[in-house]
Amino acid sequence: DTGVSQDPRHKITKRGQNVTFRCDPISEHNRLYWYRQTLGQGPEFLTYFQNEAQLEKSRLLSDRFSAERPKGSFSTLEIQRTEQGDSAMYLCASSPGRDTNEKLFFGSGTQLSVL
Amino acid sequence: DAKTTQPNSMESNEEEPVHLPCNHSTISGTDYIHWYRQLPSQGPEYVIHGLTSNVNNRMASLAIAEDRKSSTLILHRATLRDAAVYYCILRDRATSGTYKYIFGTGTRLKVLA
């Protein structure tokens, strides 16, 4: 069990560019979550996958954001035409998918800075 | 929106017990109370969760009020490594019928040497 892995750890980009982040959940975890966290705030829910199906999307996830989880394994979060307000820590979490109260395992996040 | 309220910050002396309060007056009968903590530059990590009775694990204890409208996370002997933001969370039922965890702003715990 190597934990939830996120790549890259840090990303600096210019406004208007597209960025993509990757999350590798713990092996055999069916549920995968994306959160966004800005300085001084708690993580904000963005979206949730059960295997490859995206079951829930927050209204925070504008049409510039898209997330995928092909084959129910790793997931990617893409932000198109980045804006300075997108600067945040993007966190991925996974859980086994056997219990509605099971604990989430978080990665260390990808810190995005939009210049 | 988060269904819990917590103090913004607390301080504790090293090796003393810490009681972190949380109010959740709108809790439903089936909602579990979850606690996570976030150390600097890391993602949140699970601490403990419970439904009605008090819960203990190697990290902490969770004391739940009889009416379940509040709870307290207890760190029995705070260490410098316990300095973190502590989040008290109730699940939120998503439109898909599944559940998601909604974080508030948490309590920033400072441990004094």
Q: List CB contacts (< 8 A) between B96 and chain A.
A: 48, 55-56
Chain A residues with CB within 8 Å of chain B CB: 4, 33, 35, 40-45, 48, 50, 55-56, 91, 93, 100-101, 103-109
Chain B residues with CB within 8 Å of chain A CB: 2, 32, 34, 36, 41-46, 49, 85, 87, 91, 94-96, 98-106
How close A70 comes to chain B (CA, Å)?
20
Q: Decide: B38 and B45 in contact? Cβ < 8 Å.
A: yes
Decide which of A99 and A7 is more confident.
A7
Answer whether A48 sits within 8 Å of B105, measured CB to CB.
no
Q: What is the pLDDT of residues A57-101, one digit of tens each?
A: 888 888 999 999 998 899 999 999 999 999 999 999 999 988 777
Answer whether A101 sits within 8 Å of B49, measured CB to CB.
yes
Task: Name the residue in chain B with its Cα closest to that of A109.
Answer: B43
Distance CA A57, CA A26 (A): 22
How close B36 comes to chain A (CA, Å)?
9
3-state secondary structure of B113: coil
pLDDT at B91: 79
Q: Decide: A24 and A4 in contact? Cβ < 8 Å.
A: yes
Q: What is the pLDDT of residues A34-51, one digit of tens each?
A: 999 999 999 999 999 999
Q: What is the pLDDT of residues B82-99, one digit of tens each?
A: 999 999 998 777 666 677
Distance CA A20, CA A77 (A): 6
Q: Decide: B62 and B46 in contact? Cβ < 8 Å.
A: no
pLDDT band, residue B28 (cuts 50/70/90): confident
Answer whether B94 sits within 8 Å of A56, measured CB to CB.
yes
Residue corresponding to tokens 């209204």? A59
Q: Among B32, B44, B96, select the one facing A101 at the smallest CB separation.
A: B32
pLDDT at B1: 63
Answer whether A42 sits within 8 Å of B34, measured CB to CB.
no
